[in-house]
Amino acid sequence: MELTLNINGRDHRLSLDPRTTLLDALRDHLGLTGSKKGCDQGQCGACTVHVDGRRILACLTLAAAVQGRPVATVEGLAHGDKLHPMQAAFVEHDAFQCGYCTPGQLMSAVACVHEGHAHDRAAIREHMSGNLCRCGAYPKIVDAIEDAAPKMERG
Amino acid sequence: MADDAGRLYGKPEVRIDGAAKVTGQARYASDEPVANPAYAYLVTSAISRGHITGMDLAAAEAVPGLLDILTHETVGKEAKPPVGPDQKPTTTTLETTQVWHDGQIIAVVVADSFEAAREAAHRVVVHYAPETPSATFDSPGAEAEVRKTDEQHKDPAKGDAPAAFAAAPVKIDARYETPTQHHNPLELFTTTCVWDGPKLTIYEPTQTMYGLKAAVAKQLGMEPADVRTISRYVGGAFGSKGAATSRTVWIAIAARRLKRAVKLVPTRDQAFTIATYRAETRHHLQLAANRDGKLQALIHEGWEVTSRPSSYNVSGTETTARMYACPNIATKVNVVHADRNTPGFMRAPPDTPYMFALESGMDELAHELGMDPIELRRINDTQTDPVDGKPFSSRSLMKCFDAAAAKFGWAKRDPKPGAMRDGDWLVGYGCATSCYPSNIGPAAARLSLTPRGKAVIQLAGHEIGTGAYTTVAITVAGGLGLKVTDIQVFMGDSNLPPVPVAGGSNNAASTAHVAAKACEEIRQKLALAAVQNNAGIFAGADPSKLRLTDGALAGPDGRREPLETAVGRVAGGALEVHVENVPEGLPPDAAAGLYQGKMAMSRGTGRKDVTAYAFGAQFVEVRIHALTREIRTPRIVSAFASGTIVNPLTAYSQYMGGAIWGVSSALHEATEIDLREARYVNDNLADYLVPVNADIDHLDVIFVPEEDSRVNPLGIKGIGEIGIVGMNAAVANAVFHATGKRIRKLPIRIEHLL
Amino acid sequence: MRPFRYEHAADRAQALQLANGPREATASAHITAPIQYLAGGTTLIDLMKLDVMRPEVLVDINALAGQHGAIRADASGLHLGALARMADAADDLVVRRDYPMIAQSLELAASPQLRNMASLGGNVLQRTRCNYFRDPSWTACNKRHPGSGCAAMDGVNRKLAVLGASDHCIANYPGDFGVALAALGATVDIEGAGGRRVLAFEDLHRLPGDTPHIETNLKPGELITGFTVPAGPWTRRSLYLKIRDRQSYEFALTSAAVALDVEGGVVREARIGLGGLAAKPWRSHEAEAALKGRPLDEAAAHAAADAALAKAAGHGEATFKIELGRRTLVRALLQAHAMEV
């Protein structure tokens, strides 16, 4: 089917099998490989992106179902060379190891702050629990979010 | 002057690949762009023992976009059988009609799109002649044998352990069990193959660039030079990517047949059966001590499951026999063959299961003696290897216990089990020894330095999350007197000089030493040229006294010559060296073997001069709900002494991740096997539990300073694996302290405490 | 995943038309139905990838959120549109204040991402997590293939049902929100080709009996449009307690949904649901009756828990859940009683 996806502010016209998930559309059809496939069944969070400003799992979302709705991926977080405060905090705090879950963690972390769930460590931990990190970077992810949240609010 | 390579060690440095990882630009194998790929999808067996009698492919072939279906009949003879992680025969896949285990690859479907490939794979109908399988220990038909000893697998023994055990006044005689566990790195076991004439490029996440290259070349009857492996970033490995697996050659053959790139991204459940895992183990541990706590006998017998054709085993008695001073030691390991895939390396492969037994046993013994468990370890601490009397290169075990105990607040522990409580929650404190042998291998690297003070180092290293790019950069910056930001590091490509498998915690030591050696060669070349140049400021000076520092060649008297001059003297664009480092004790041909993907390793337990281990102490507080018995771990404290710490920032992450793995292993992880069918059942990330963010609260890692000039010149011990080793027992010991209930089988779950 | 036609419904009328087309096949909640409604997709897309479900047409009903996405409370109770997302209801301040059990059942479920995706209507229809059901390479599953047997009965079954199961199926209902709806006596609004009807939520799901493949009493083509939770003096003193191996992002081993109307320490009315334990969202009228008119102390809580699990039957590994279920309910009752309301 023919469809248009709006990714990071840009429209992309695509011809896709209706079965194509948003994740596969991003990775295999648009070359946006930042969003990762860790389970392809909604269990790991590595494919987390924003649709309509809310974090969702791209692996359980059909591309066809997000036509006309803005999609934001990790590739759209930084402004040119300037990292988003959350990205900078992840680097500073070493909030990752292998880095594979990181794009999903970042998209979740930004949403976690926007949702108002970053007010204390317990809330962050709970609201970041949909993103598995097999390397075990969790405490540093919480550190990074605590650090970045006020910086995000300052804009 | 090699010391200069360590000049920047111990100072936290953010990852030089950090920006790439947080922007989505870091390319993992399946992210590599290839032109017009076809998509592969695996068909795997639904039985675990028997033969394939036929396949009905008509429905699959009718799927629009289908390109090819590889089966035993079409391609079975095109590849030689694979070898297992121990380089010995293992289970096969398409080579024959035989099914060795559940989820074995039996066909590869290739189509124009991922969607079509998946649909066609689901439409393949397989006919089997099944046989009754054996799932695990105690299953009818499982075959046990005493593990043969070889270079890597010995049975440490000393004195007359049975007699000493019989005679001793205080003893523990207990059996422990650990479950099947799967690494479950978040990155799937992907493979992309691209042919260019006779040359094959493989994009696959691996911990062994040259090992994978050699294995595939051998299976396909190719010249290794015609195979290139690329793996710039690995999305978690933990041992699972430490050896070649069967999938790769079939994807290569599929690409060859189609004359088109073929990309495989397998499913999560396939990850349980197309790669390796940590096999379930059993232990019979007998410990005997005098009333003062001094150990008199240690008898440790282990059993490990493996596949039918492989005798892969981990034999952690090599470690448990060496932990404490003990005059009488006996050990033995058995393997049990079942209808399972072949196990392999998983984070601290021998030490994690075997130390669970020993460190639980030590806690039981302390309880029996009425002695503090830390004091029991202190009484039996030793600076010499109890098995063969060699000195430990260094051993700071009790310093670790003291540092961690202080931070943890061990003194507040009421030793009586079940005595501590906070509201509705029972509280328990537990601790255990952690350790990991210090290994180092040969390595090669190419290093270039420009007159403008920029360096490029190239080596086929592996970034599996350890921060390998950054440790190499820190070493080169130190060695050449530059800033870390002046160093570019290229890794993850088998066209670059080889380094060993990123396993056994050898990576930092192996790569740092070759990088240091490369820097030293560059320094020597510059120094020699400088002293031989009559017009230069160092004319006639002693070249060994000249150092590279702060972007200059400097003499002992403070005179400095800018790099522009020093390098410009010998090179126009860049000065480049290719170096190989063979650690002391390894044969000189170890470097040559490296290029053929062979792994020579100076192992912490196999050296002539010393026994080399890193040590640590791990503490955990468990809270168990008095009524519903959920088990939580609000506080984890670990202290480690691992010699020189290259980068404390990433080292902390490694230790921390290891400790979280330990909690995960103790409380969560277990692959459930259907005993009737010998099939993995909970093969997904919702049912194979690993901790989520909410499970980990306060976690501290203490670096206990340790200088070790005997382990290797830079004093580097590995850190990637030690973090997990003590935690299983620490948690079990804490659960005992909280409840009075000793759980000897992992994972510890609610139902064990109701 | 088998090929399907993707249809986008602009409103309810179009959705019903697309799902009740001229073809003899019509949408239904049954696994084998050729037409399926697609909302959040968190169950459906997952099971299609696993080849468990093979619909030929997907009717995307997300655009119905305008008609059926509201969250509203009035004197009669709480009205939840079926297209409201789990996160919306969990975060709603009125829901949190007046129906804490509902809010907790939602926020303790799944992950933030899944809660943003999953609709309330879809959530109550989520399917069992029984591994033997979810993997078609297991041939014996009466839910997938009636008459084929139940591989779980003597297999790996730690998480499966101890209440309401049958000799044909021991799958458990994995959800949380549905348990709260059952406990509070909610009703479900259903639209079909024949018009609107209202069903007691307790009657939405069926016990497996000898037809475990028929999971609900929805008729072909029917669509859930909303839920009403009746108001009552017990809704504020209510909670949802979920017991699981890890702290978050895991299906319940056991859970208890408890609402109490207590006057002078005596229980006037109780509403009790159990999760993780049963073949469907489970309301325990037995436990409610055991509490009515009694002072809520430990003995009463234990009596209620014994009544709730009296008919429980364990299979293999899951047997421990009978005792854990009792304890979960005891803890939830004591905790609800202690609530400051």
Domain boundary among A57, A75, A93: A75
Q: Are A61 and A100 members of one domain?
A: no
Q: Are B648 and B745 members of one domain?
A: yes
Spatial distance between the Cα atoms of B644 and B471, rounded to a whole number of angstroms: 12
Strands, DSSP E only, in A8-154? 10-15, 48-51, 54-57, 70-72
Alpha-carbon B685 to chain mean position: 21
| A4 pLDDT tier (thresholds 50, 70, 90) | very high
> Which residue ranges of chain C lie beneath pLDDT 50?
none
The DSSP 8-state label assigned to residue B149 in this structure reads P
Whichever domain contains B55, its CATH number is 3.90.1170.50
Q: Are A37 and A101 members of one domain?
A: no
Q: Are B115 and B261 members of one domain?
A: yes
The whole-number pLDDT of residue C23 equals 54
Nearest by CB to C112, from A1, A60, A127: name it.
Answer: A127
Which residue pairs from B216-221 have beta carbons closer than 8 angstroms and sit at least 24 positions apart in sequence?
A: B216/B244, B216/B248, B216/B249, B216/B252, B218/B80, B219/B79, B219/B80, B219/B81, B219/B82, B219/B249, B220/B78, B220/B79, B220/B80, B220/B249, B220/B252, B220/B253, B221/B80
The domain total for chain A is: 2
Contacts C49 to A, Cβ<8 Å: 40-41
Whichever domain contains A127, its CATH number is 1.10.150.120
The whole-number pLDDT of residue B26 equals 98
Domain boundary among A49, A75, A101: A75
The DSSP H or E segment spanning A121 is helix A121-127
Q: How many CA atoms lie within 13 A of B129 on its CB side?
A: 6
Q: Are A68 and A103 members of one domain?
A: no
Residue pointed to by tokens 């060669």? B521
Domain for residue B55, yes or no?
Answer: yes
Spatial distance between the Cα atoms of B167 and B163, rounded to a whole number of angstroms: 6
Domain for residue B179, yes or no?
Answer: no
Domain for residue B19, yes or no?
Answer: no
Nearest chain C residue to A40 by CA distance is C46
Average pLDDT on A54-61 reads 98
Domain boundary among A27, A54, A75: A75
- In the sheet with A70-72, reading across from the earlier edge strand, the strands are A10-15, A2-7, A70-72, A48-51, A54-57
**Inter-chain residue contact A129 with B235, CB threshold 8 Å:** no
Catalytic positions of B are: 721
Neighbours of chain C (3+ CB pairs under 8 A): A, B
Q: Are B434 and B445 members of one domain?
A: no
Q: Are B530 and B614 members of one domain?
A: no
Q: Are A53 and A90 members of one domain?
A: no
**Inter-chain residue contact C248 with B693, CB threshold 8 Å:** yes
Domain for residue B560, yes or no?
Answer: yes
Q: Are B108 and B253 members of one domain?
A: yes
Spatial distance between the Cα atoms of C170 and C28, rounded to a whole number of angstroms: 23
Q: Are B419 and B451 members of one domain?
A: no
Question: Which tokens belong to A99?
Answer: 């880095």
Question: Which tokens belong to B280?
Answer: 């379930």
Domain boundary among B533, B560, B595: B595
Strands, DSSP E only, in chain C? 5-8, 35-38, 57-60, 71-74, 77-81, 187-192, 195-200, 223-230, 238-243, 254-263, 266-275, 282-283
| Residue B556 C-alpha, separation from nearest chain A C-alpha, in angstroms | 37
Q: Are B586 and B629 members of one domain?
A: no
Q: Are A13 and A62 members of one domain?
A: yes
Contacts A127 to C, Cβ<8 Å: 112
Domain for residue B323, yes or no?
Answer: no
Domain with A48 in it = 2-75
B488 Cβ contact list (under 8 Å, min separation 6): B454, B455, B456, B457
Q: Are B428 and B446 members of one domain?
A: no
Q: Are A65 and A89 members of one domain?
A: no
Residue pointed to by tokens 């095109």? B78
| B568 pLDDT tier (thresholds 50, 70, 90) | very high
Average pLDDT on B298-319 reads 98
| C-alpha distances in Å from residue A96, one per residue of A141, B511, B657 | 7, 22, 10
Q: Which of B22, B42, B232, B665 to mutate to test the interface with A (most CBs of A within 10 A)?
A: B22
Domain for residue B170, yes or no?
Answer: no
| Residue A80 C-alpha, separation from nearest chain B C-alpha, in angstroms | 10
Domain for residue B467, yes or no?
Answer: yes
Residue pointed to by tokens 């907790």? C104
Q: Are A21 and A67 members of one domain?
A: yes
Neighbours of chain A (3+ CB pairs under 8 A): B, C
Helix (H, G, I), strand (E, B) or coil at A70: strand
Whichever domain contains A55, its CATH number is 3.10.20.30
Whichever domain contains B351, its CATH number is 3.30.365.10
Q: Are A89 and A70 members of one domain?
A: no
Q: Are B429 and B446 members of one domain?
A: no
Chain C positions contacting chain A at CB under 8 Å are 1, 3-6, 8, 38, 40-42, 45-46, 49-50, 58, 60, 62, 87, 110-114, 116-117, 247-249
Q: Are B381 and B474 members of one domain?
A: no
Q: Are A44 and A94 members of one domain?
A: no
pLDDT one-digit tens code per residue, B136-163: 999 999 999 999 998 878 999 999 999 9
Is C271:C99 a contact under the CB 8 Å cutoff? no
Nearest by CB to A60, from C4, C117, C249: name it.
Answer: C117
Contacts B63 to A, Cβ<8 Å: none
Domain for residue A80, yes or no?
Answer: no
CA angle in degrees (0–180, nearest 5) for C52-C54-C57 = 150
Domain with B508 in it = 2-8+440-595
**Inter-chain residue contact B627 with C154, CB threshold 8 Å:** no
Q: Are A65 and A113 members of one domain?
A: no
Q: Are B424 and B502 members of one domain?
A: no
| B1 pLDDT tier (thresholds 50, 70, 90) | very low
Domain for residue A51, yes or no?
Answer: yes
Q: Are B434 and B444 members of one domain?
A: no
| All structural domains of chain C | 5-63 (3.30.43.10), 65-125+173-230 (3.30.465.10), 238-337 (3.30.390.50)
Spatial distance between the Cα atoms of C329 and C256, rounded to a whole number of angstroms: 5
Domain for residue A38, yes or no?
Answer: yes
% chain B with pLDDT above 90? 98
Of the candidates B50, B206, B57, B230, the residue with the CA atom closest to the CA atom of residue B128: B50
B298-302, B495-499, B534-538 — which is least confidently predicted? B534-538
Contacts A21 to C, Cβ<8 Å: 45
**Inter-chain residue contact B659 with A125, CB threshold 8 Å:** no
pLDDT one-digit tens code per residue, C208-236: 999 999 999 999 899 999 999 999 999 99
The DSSP 8-state label assigned to residue B384 in this structure reads B
Domain for residue A148, yes or no?
Answer: yes
Q: Are A49 and A97 members of one domain?
A: no
Beta bridge partners of C46: none
Domain for residue B407, yes or no?
Answer: yes
The DSSP 8-state label assigned to residue B683 in this structure reads -
Is B435:B323 a contact under the CB 8 Å cutoff? yes
pLDDT one-digit tens code per residue, B482-495: 999 999 999 999 99
The domain total for chain B is: 3
**Inter-chain residue contact C112 with A108, CB threshold 8 Å:** yes
The whole-number pLDDT of residue C173 equals 98
Mean pLDDT, chain B, as a whole number? 97
B557 Cβ contact list (under 8 Å, min separation 6): none
B1-10, B401-410, B582-591, B596-605 — which is least confidently predicted? B1-10
